[in-house]
Chains A and B, each alone.
Chain A
């Protein structure tokens, strides 16, 4: 989850909904690759479980500081974006088993390379104060402000609309687009377009927002090393802490801890 804590309630939806999507996508990935010899159910349950663990960490533990920023882009690319892009590839290309594995490897490397290059580029746009300078109270990075005195980070600009508005718009557009694809394209054409589109979206996210989060997290880690003290945390963390306290799972864990 990037732009740490833009919308706190989004995290709860991710915790309870996203593992199902991850499980389904990885199940589809395994179903279309029988040459790997992996049981579909096993892959789906494992992927869903790992995804739940990640989102549980995000919901219950993360401070949305540098450590979170260093992990989140790679995890999201691995558990969701790459499999979404690549799952259908065998239906498109009738390749022998070994070639499919190579194709998977190449696309995975491409995603990670894109993320790494983007992180390096975005890190250059998030300068640190020179060592000799007395640090100012605030650093202004693209989409992020770092308050050195309070050791907090603030996402800028603040979100304007409800988080699900864009998601719903995109979802509805996908229904219309797929209706058009079904009417005009053969099955292989539909898959080709779907795979190409998702690879494009995924690489755009890696090069854009996810790369930026990774690059800025690297800078933030450098800052923490230079200015020892408490790790940086997001200014919306108190809101999440309140949500953590109110959640039934949080209450249950506290109760178990008290016992």
Chain B
């Protein structure tokens, strides 16, 4: 980790003052992140936590990335994921796919596992999300390694520069990636010998951290996952999807409840009615997206085209008896 640039601001000086403490919490760079279990991390009895900003250049090694990722995850999960990805080259110790799979496995449990909101999406959405993240991260990495970009901006505070990587992507001697951090809001953590301490300027406070074993990579992955859940467009659209599809479900449920078939057949009736209405809804959504992709629309024309296509497809589905066919199909399965 190499610092550069003078004179230093107050924030930078603070970072330098705390650099020694900061380093104490990191694993040696020689140990790949995914091989570190909780038990390999040194136990820390008391930690002091305070806010600061980070303004420095670093060699993009494992400890630096692991310290940055949780900070970045709260403001820009995509950037954090990209940072985790570019951490790999040019000194990768695992093939790219294997690295990705290990990283995504860590992310997956807290984002698309069975016990959370996203879990209800189902396997296809999970695969789509994972593929999208992977593509997004790969794009950043490929741009810099192929020499297409000498630097990539992954957030307002973080840029990655290629050092001694040629235009054609050839790695010269001493090739490395440099991460340039400017004004990144950072939480500084340092070890204390006593449980509580008050700093002379009274601006910082000390807290006792209960978790003694901190697996930084897992922490980073969890932070990213949580941030993604809060900021992901997919999740927002999932909520939108619930709002869009729920009225049909509510109407179907009410119709089933009040139908003459009686309460004994309530669930069966509901499933048949849902197959009739939701099949058209799902088709409309898919057709709208395909039409937009076909025409290459963006912005307002894309929204209008998807809207018009969706309405036409649903009207056609009803007119041609597709809804009844879907309902009869489900009824046949249930009988």
Indicate if the CB atoms of A170 and B294 lie closer than 8 Å: no
Q: Kindly provide the distance from the CB of A234 to the nearest chain B CB, expressed in whole angstroms.
A: 12
Indicate if the CB atoms of B287 and A21 lie closer than 8 Å: yes
Within 8 A of A (CB), among B269-324: 280-281, 284-312, 314-316, 318-320
Within 8 A of B (CB), among A64-80: 76, 80
Docked Cα-Cα span, A172 to B307, in Å, equals 8
Docked Cα-Cα span, A80 to B251, in Å, equals 33
* Interface segment out of the listed A83-91, A101-109, A130-138, A251-259: A83-91
A178 interface residue, CB < 8 Å from B? yes
- Report chain A residues within 8 Å CB of B251: 179, 183
Indicate if the CB atoms of B304 and A1 lie closer than 8 Å: no
Docked Cα-Cα span, A166 to B233, in Å, equals 12
Indicate if the CB atoms of B294 and A197 lie closer than 8 Å: no
Cβ 8 A contact of B290, one of A18, A85, A205: A18
Q: Kindly provide the distance from the CB of B249 to the nearest chain A CB, expressed in whole angstroms.
A: 10
Cβ 8 A contact of B288, one of A13, A171, A205: A171
* Interface segment out of the listed A146-154, A186-194, A221-229: A186-194
Docked Cα-Cα span, A204 to B244, in Å, equals 26
Binding site for B on A (CB under 8 A): 1-3, 6-7, 9-11, 13-14, 17-18, 20-22, 24, 28, 31-32, 51, 55, 76, 80-81, 84-85, 87-88, 91, 159, 162-179, 181-183, 187, 190-191, 193-195, 197-198, 200-202, 204-205, 208-209
Docked Cα-Cα span, A258 to B302, in Å, equals 41
**A179 touching B289 in the complex, CB below 8 Å, given contacts A1-B294, A2-B296, A170-B310:** no
**A172 touching B237 in the complex, CB below 8 Å, given contacts A28-B316, A163-B302, A191-B319:** yes
Indicate if the CB atoms of A166 and B296 lie closer than 8 Å: no
**A167 touching B315 in the complex, CB below 8 Å, given contacts A174-B306, A175-B281:** no
B7 interface residue, CB < 8 Å from A? no
Indicate if the CB atoms of A84 and B312 lie closer than 8 Å: yes
Indicate if the CB atoms of B244 and A194 lie closer than 8 Å: no
Indicate if the CB atoms of B294 and A80 lie closer than 8 Å: yes
**A174 touching B309 in the complex, CB below 8 Å, given contacts A2-B296, A18-B293, A164-B289:** yes
Indicate if the CB atoms of B311 and A193 lie closer than 8 Å: yes
Cβ 8 A contact of B237, one of A32, A168, A176, A195: A168
Q: Chain B's interface: helix, strand, loop or mixed, by majority? A: helix
Tell me how many residues of B have a C-beta within 8 Å of chain A.
48
Docked Cα-Cα span, A17 to B294, in Å, equals 8
Docked Cα-Cα span, A109 to B295, in Å, equals 20
B200 interface residue, CB < 8 Å from A? no
Indicate if the CB atoms of B298 and A166 lie closer than 8 Å: yes
- Report chain B residues within 8 Å CB of A169: 240, 303, 306
B37 interface residue, CB < 8 Å from A? no
Indicate if the CB atoms of A167 and B302 lie closer than 8 Å: yes
**A187 touching B292 in the complex, CB below 8 Å, given contacts A171-B284, A177-B307:** no
With most chain B CB atoms within 10 A of its CB, the pick from A91, A176, A177, A183 is A176
- Report chain B residues within 8 Å CB of A164: 289, 292-293
- Report chain A residues within 8 Å CB of B133: none
Cβ 8 A contact of A194, one of B305, B315, B320: B315
Cβ 8 A contact of B284, one of A11, A174, A183: A174
> Which residue from chain A places its CB closest to the CB of B237 in the assembled complex?
A168
Q: A13-B290, A164-B292, A170-B302 are in contact. List 7 more A-B contacts (CB 8 A).
A: A28-B320, A32-B319, A51-B294, A174-B314, A178-B281, A178-B315, A204-B301
- Report chain A residues within 8 Å CB of B314: 174-175, 178, 194
Indicate if the CB atoms of B295 and A172 lie closer than 8 Å: no
- Report chain A residues within 8 Å CB of B311: 174, 177-178, 181, 193-194, 197-198
Cβ 8 A contact of A172, one of B241, B287, B297: B241
Cβ 8 A contact of B294, one of A6, A76, A85: A76
Docked Cα-Cα span, A87 to B135, in Å, equals 37
- Report chain A residues within 8 Å CB of B247: 176, 179
Indicate if the CB atoms of A80 and B308 lie closer than 8 Å: no
Cβ 8 A contact of B233, one of A7, A13, A165: A165
Indicate if the CB atoms of B304 and A170 lie closer than 8 Å: yes
- Report chain A residues within 8 Å CB of B306: 166-171, 173-174
B248 interface residue, CB < 8 Å from A? yes
Q: Kindly provide the distance from the CB of A26 to the nearest chain B CB, expressed in whole angstroms.
A: 12
> Which residue from chain B places its CB closest to the CB of A77 in the assembled complex?
B295
Docked Cα-Cα span, A10 to B297, in Å, equals 10
**7 A-B pairs with least C-beta separation:** A174-B310, A170-B306, A166-B302, A1-B296, A18-B294, A171-B288, A201-B308
Indicate if the CB atoms of B296 and A172 lie closer than 8 Å: no
Indicate if the CB atoms of B294 and A187 lie closer than 8 Å: no
Indicate if the CB atoms of B312 and A3 lie closer than 8 Å: no
Indicate if the CB atoms of B244 and A175 lie closer than 8 Å: yes
**A87 touching B288 in the complex, CB below 8 Å, given contacts A80-B295, A172-B241, A208-B301:** no
Indicate if the CB atoms of A175 and B310 lie closer than 8 Å: yes
Docked Cα-Cα span, A194 to B316, in Å, equals 9
**A166 touching B320 in the complex, CB below 8 Å, given contacts A84-B312, A174-B310:** no
- Report chain A residues within 8 Å CB of B303: 166-167, 169-170, 173
Indicate if the CB atoms of A17 and B309 lie closer than 8 Å: no
Cβ 8 A contact of B293, one of A2, A17, A170, A174: A17
